[in-house]
Amino acid sequence: MQNHRESFKYTYSANEQDEIKKIRSKYTCGEESKIERLRRLDKKVSQKSTAYSLIIGIIGALLLGCGMSLVMTEIGAFLALGKTAAVILGIIVGLIGAILVALAYPVYNTVTRKEREKVAPEIIKLTDELLK
């Protein structure tokens, strides 16, 4: 009898190798590449401005809804405000909410502009290095 040693060799496809490299890079202590840093800085700018505008918009929408609810329902009687006081309070709260909703987009633009000004020198430096 002969002893046969058969081995099996498997190579991963390109997609699987990319996934393996991506997972491995999470656990290695290497420095991030310049393109990764560039992506991270760009993403950071939009995330901060999106968060601020969402918070303002959501609070504004909730206030607008509360104001409409005070005007159109009998909640004023339940809160012992009286019908006239509830309508006036509802209009005031609703207007404040509408103003906040309207301010969400300008806040997004303002925060984005300021954050871009902060990271612009580093982004320009990284792009110059990558384009050489």
State the Cα–Cα distance between residues 100 and 56, nearest whole angstrom. 6
User: If we measure between CA atoms, which residue out of 73, 99, 104 comes closest to residue 86?
Assistant: 73
Write out the two tokens for 26.
């999470």
State the Cα–Cα distance between residues 128 and 124, nearest whole angstrom. 6
Encode pLDDT of 26-73 as tens digits.
776 656 677 888 888 888 889 999 999 999 999 999 999 999 998 888
pTM assigned to the model: 0.67
State the Cα–Cα distance between residues 114 and 7, nearest whole angstrom. 60
pLDDT at 40: 86
pLDDT for 1 beyond 60: no
